[in-house]
Amino acid sequence: MTREPRYRLLKPHTLRDLMSRTGDGSEISGRALASAVGIPHGTIEGLLNGKTKTQPAPVAREICRVIGVDVGCLWAETGRKVPDEKTEAPA
């Protein structure tokens, strides 16, 4: 069984900036984004304040779909070069 990869949010402030002007030019709140993605609003708040650093790939992709950007604009797949929340940054 293959585990779905997790994605690390590269820059929380970029997510905040993109929420203020989504792909269609509108603004979306953290609550509205969370609702559209189907996750608790605390998850978005955690991402925005840096307390939450990673999300499962489907969640990362859905956040990007809702705000209208490519996944690579906000996220990097965790692995050898991109640490997840449980590992230290690479040397």
Strands 6-9 and 75-77: antiparallel
User: Of the candidates 68, 63, 74, which has an alpha carbon nearest to the alpha carbon of residue 36?
Assistant: 63
pLDDT of res. 88? 44
What's the confidence (pLDDT) of residue 80?
62
Asked whether residue 12 is domain-assigned, the answer is yes
CATH code of the domain containing 14:
1.10.260.40
What's the confidence (pLDDT) of residue 86? 59
List, for residues 63-88, the tens digit of each pLDDT value: 999 999 999 999 999 986 666 665 54
Predicted pLDDT at 79: 80
Residue 1 covered by a domain: no
pLDDT digits (tens, 9 = 90+) for 3-53: 788 999 999 999 999 999 998 999 999 999 999 999 999 999 999 999 999
Give the range of the structural domain holding residue 30, as residue numbers without chain letter.
6-77
Q: How far apart are CA 58 and CA 75, in angstroms?
A: 12
Q: What is the pLDDT of residue 90?
A: 44
**Between 65 and 1, where is the model more confident?**
65
